[in-house]
Amino acid sequence: MFLTHASVKRIAWFRAIELLVLFVGVPALMVWGGTRVRPLLVGALAAGFCFVLLWRDGGFDRSTLWNIAGLRGVARLILLRFAICAVLLTGLVWLLRPDQFFILPRTRPGLWAVIMVAYPLISVWPQELIYRAFFFHRYRSIFGEGAGMVIGSSVAFGLMHVIFQNWVAVVMTIVGGVFFGTTYLKSRSLLAVSFEHTLYGQLIFTIGLGGYFYTGTLRTMGG
């Protein structure tokens, strides 16, 4: 089936509107809409919606949903980058927020252990399905296949974190989004990028930055 130029333009406009609604409108509604909705529930529903669209899309390579070979190809880069960032972030918390340093494992070790186990499944995987697998496939006609896509997905990822209503969460997730987007671009593996996201998320909740990402995760888990 061949699409006319007009049809391609209509699809591009539809995708652009869809992007604004899903990745700008929904976070804005959650913050300023006056409704009390659990972010993890919204994330789960959104991930389910994205998964169905991807699975029914004949142009989507389903192997990217796993692709262990892709993880092997970028594992060294992921671990090296994480080691550097872990040292820097841990040092910053120790210097600037000593009252929060390792506060969760020190004061609530049970909750910390639950987060370490549950966080990858109920938070990381849905986010990466939405902001990497879905976003990279669905909006390539808008952002292309390279740096533009990484930047676009990173900004969208950061905008989602306005629900926490602090600039630290937004800035950190935009930077993290660049890391994750680059990893996904190199590996085409949801497994690889979920592994990397998990490392940073567990680090944040361990060293004392979890308070900036409190809404939803800790409350849902009993915090």
Count structural domains, the chain.
1
Q: Residue 203, Cβ neighbours under 10 Å: how many?
A: 15
The parent domain of residue 197 ranges over: 5-220
**Per-residue pLDDT tens digits of the chain, which is 223 residues long:** 555 655 667 778 899 999 999 999 999 998 887 666 788 888 999 999 999 999 999 999 999 999 999 999 999 999 999 999 999 999 999 999 999 999 999 999 999 999 999 999 999 999 999 999 999 999 998 999 999 999 999 999 999 999 998 999 999 999 999 999 999 999 999 999 999 999 999 999 999 999 998 754 444 444 4
How many residues in total does the chain contain?
A: 223
Cα 174 to Cα 176: distance, rounded to the nearest angstrom = 5
Q: Residue 122, Cβ neighbours under 10 Å: how many?
A: 17
Which 3-state string (H, E, C) describes the chain?
Answer: CCCCHHHHHHHHHHHHHHHHHHHHHHHHHHHHCCCCCCHHHHHHHHHHHHHHHHHHCCCCCHHHHCCHHHHHHHHHHHHHHHHHHHHHHHHHHHHHCHHHCCHHHHHCHHHHHHHHHHHHHHHHHHHHHHHHHHHHHHCHHHHCCCHHHHHHHHHHHHHHHHHHCCHHHHHHHHHHHHHHHHHHHHHCCHHHHHHHHHHHHHHHHHHCCHHHHCCCHHHHCCC
**pTM for this model (two decimals):** 0.91
